[in-house]
Structure 1
């Protein structure tokens, strides 16, 4: 059995390190050009070099997205940019357009190329065609079922890898090819600046009755709204393992550090548990509990199970019951004092959950808080990135994330 790759998003250098620390086998990032997340903290060359080193020192990989659909003017400097990525030591580029594939083959023939989900690969002949053009890995369209994926895998050479999204936001448009944002706000989804207009709350207005708004609803025949649930396949690890998918991809380059750590941790533990003993594998509710704490929309299995019309619903709001309030910088075993970087408001006496890589979650209590900058005792850490100390009876480690339930608490 081939152990699949867990591929995590990294919208910043800090998130890259968190993803690797929590168990990702590889990360995908955006550089300075031609990626579909214009609003994320895309990497400078210096940050990319540090990220490559951080990954390679730990036996992990780093991929760079170049997955826009470029116009003629976008192609200026593409060859030079690709060569700069090669010099930095990246492991592969993720592309959607033949122009970038051609440019990469011309100037960097040994560079590994992955075909983005934006290319809408939904059948085995298309996958085989792309492989014959020099594509090492096909990132499948999100709209495929397990049965369709199995057929694709059966008709491809062994060396052609398949990658599929297993967790994160879904798009109402076919593999993200959407014009709504561009039409309404002039922000092109295919250039990385999507406004997520599909998430807005819509009403119908009949042209002769201005001011009379009719809610868009769902009936027993299906849904007529555009907002998608979030994909979550944590309960279906055995099916994923048997599908022929080599890389389990997590969506979310614009998501938080808390999101990256939690999702990678859950899928890492689930995959490792299955690999250790496939015959006696059992799903653990703690994995879903970890995923339920991050900001998310209602979860769904997407198209994998062949059920259409169930991935959309009439509520666009996120579930945000938990938040990260601090990251441990150090812990003194003798005094039991933790030094903590504040992320959100936290009070002296708060009971918190600890999110740690490769470790079951556990609870701690903060006591005797102390403001390091002002050098005075503190009842609350309420300044952005405030450094404070607190007595914690249970030993902590550097990089532990402290998580707080927001329900019923003053924020």
Structure 2
């Protein structure tokens, strides 16, 4: 039976966040380079990426660089140069969207097909595998059955998002930001119009819903489905959040590390994907970091999933207001509140908030009493004590044993949990101890200390006993030298996979491509044409927007969200008008419902 390593993949907006993710137990991190990342605001230098790769590889963790935007003609050569620089810096794989890169002279680096390539079917997964991709990152919209079907049709490793913000559109298929603002989501510059407030109106202009965030989804949280995903064929579990801060990353990584470790412990089919164990000074709690509320999206069934009244973080519910005074209120809660906490609440479906200045038992003195009334439900969207605990350093230690051998001179050998070994021989003269038992114990005590190294010393043996006398300071110096040598050996032993990219000609699943094919350079056009697909239209970034354009396709359905699903209700029970529109600042977007496919389209008018 093949044993499958389960990878926990974390976001890193910068070097420091990447190190924190690894220390909290990430098996891999993904990070943006100087250009061409889908989060344009968080680029990093090659020097920092090289530092991160060196740090990660000590723990057998990996670093993936994202070049997951569409590339204009004059940018392709720059992206290829970046790929070579990144490979030389030590990264393990590239996450890409633009198929034009496969028409270039890339380094021998594994390629991962970004979720931006819209990977929803077994046919697409098989195509990508045959095209030479080393991993396929699946669309978030898939359910367990669909994931299992892709696994059955392919052998390429599969990756799935398990936590974080959700794009309401199928990834790579959203053109709303480009159409409204000229800022392309496929170019890393999304203006996030899906988080804006809209009115829902009919074709006569009658308002059905007013000023709601009708396209804003809650955050993904698949904590309770990780084992099901693993059994369906997922081997990499991805946390979204390259714009998130270090505290958020620490909390989410530590949480999912614990979840995955329990699954591995109870199932011999799975194994860890990297080495070492994290030690943290906090108990992870996902509700205490940025959260719009949680959904499991479509993984097991369709449920309500929108955050209609705010796109902001609401945080953890703490209780109901039970009494009001001029400058304070009482709250019924089991949570411990602190000075400096941020709290929020809804008043007439609008989110308001304030800070806590003082806490006296269950009586709270906020910075402002505006909007706070008896019976109102209060949430904490900033937990000062928890965030203070997240700011402390965390560490990750690899288990190792040390043996002092004396058969042919004094030799100290360290062997880590992966079987990697290092030895040093003591050249100086030693003298027998006048107290052999004490000398032996001194060796054991000093060699048992991992100190500031990356190792936890799980055992020390002296063969044979008794040990000779050496000063404590000298023993400690030898231990440090030994552990430094073991760390160097780990880096030297790290194996980085390579992949040669050979052009292929197998048929692409779609025979004709319109703007949703995302072809914005001649390299991508050549790729698709060689694979039997005719490019009928350039990508949306290169053509004018027109009324009737489908600028978003989503499995999320506003009719379902508002309790008026056309499939589940008889015609006489339908409450909403046949024609629906979203309206914001005088701009109107038409909604079209494809009930057989359970999809909603948003079109320009």
Q: 1:232 aligns with which of 221, 230, 244?
A: 221
Counterpart residue number, 2:306: 312
Q: Judging changes above 3 Å, is the alpha-carbon distance between structure 1 residues 152 and 59 closer, same or farther for their aligned structure 2 residues?
A: same
CA contact (8 A) 1:9 1:29 kept: yes
> Does structure 1 residue 107 correspond to structure 2 residue 109?
no
Deviations 1:42-73 (A, max 9, x none): 11011111111111122110000011112212
Q: Judging changes above 3 Å, is the alpha-carbon distance between structure 1 residues 134 and 310 closer, same or farther for their aligned structure 2 residues?
A: same
> Does structure 1 residue 215 correspond to structure 2 residue 248?
no
Counterpart residue number, 2:18: 16
CA-atom RMSD in angstroms? 3.2
TM-score, length-normalised on structure 1?
0.71
Q: 1:352 aligns with which of 361, 366, 385?
A: 385
> Does structure 1 residue 299 correspond to structure 2 residue 294?
yes
CA contact (8 A) 1:295 1:321 kept: no
CA contact (8 A) 1:20 1:26 kept: yes
2:51 & 2:63 partners in 1: Cα distance?
A: 11
CA contact (8 A) 1:177 1:189 kept: no
1:269 CA drift (Å) = 0.4
CA contact (8 A) 1:199 1:226 kept: yes
CA contact (8 A) 2:70 2:98 kept: yes
CA contact (8 A) 2:227 2:263 kept: yes
**Unaligned stretches of 5+ residues in structure 2:** 269-281, 318-341, 343-354, 360-382, 397-450, 453-605
Following superposition of structure 1 onto structure 2, how do residues 123-202 of structure 1 map, counting pairs within 5 Å? 123-157=121-155, 160-202=156-198
1:120 & 1:168 partners in 2: Cα distance?
A: 18
> Does structure 1 residue 120 correspond to structure 2 residue 118?
yes
1:312 CA drift (Å) = 2.3
Q: Judging changes above 3 Å, is the alpha-carbon distance between structure 1 residues 208 and 270 closer, same or farther for their aligned structure 2 residues?
A: closer
Q: Judging changes above 3 Å, is the alpha-carbon distance between structure 1 residues 176 and 98 closer, same or farther for their aligned structure 2 residues?
A: closer
1:43 & 1:277 partners in 2: Cα distance?
A: 39
Secondary structure at 1:198 match in 2: helix
Counterpart residue number, 2:6: 4
TM-score, length-normalised on structure 2?
0.49
Counterpart residue number, 1:77: 78
Deviations 1:341-398 (A, max 9, x none): xxx9999999934347599xxxxxxxxxxxxxxxxxxxxxxxxxxxxxxxxxxxxx99
Secondary structure at 1:175 match in 2: coil
Counterpart residue number, 1:368: none
2:180 & 2:231 partners in 1: Cα distance?
A: 42
2:121 & 2:13 partners in 1: Cα distance?
A: 30
Secondary structure at 2:71 match in 1: coil
Q: Judging changes above 3 Å, is the alpha-carbon distance between structure 1 residues 125 and 176 closer, same or farther for their aligned structure 2 residues?
A: closer
Secondary structure at 1:111 match in 2: coil
1:92 CA drift (Å) = 0.2
Q: Judging changes above 3 Å, is the alpha-carbon distance between structure 1 residues 346 and 63 closer, same or farther for their aligned structure 2 residues?
A: farther
1:275 CA drift (Å) = 1.2
CA contact (8 A) 1:95 1:101 kept: no
Tell me how many residue pairs correspond in the alignment: 319
**Unaligned stretches of 5+ residues in structure 1:** 219-223, 280-286, 323-343, 360-396, 399-411
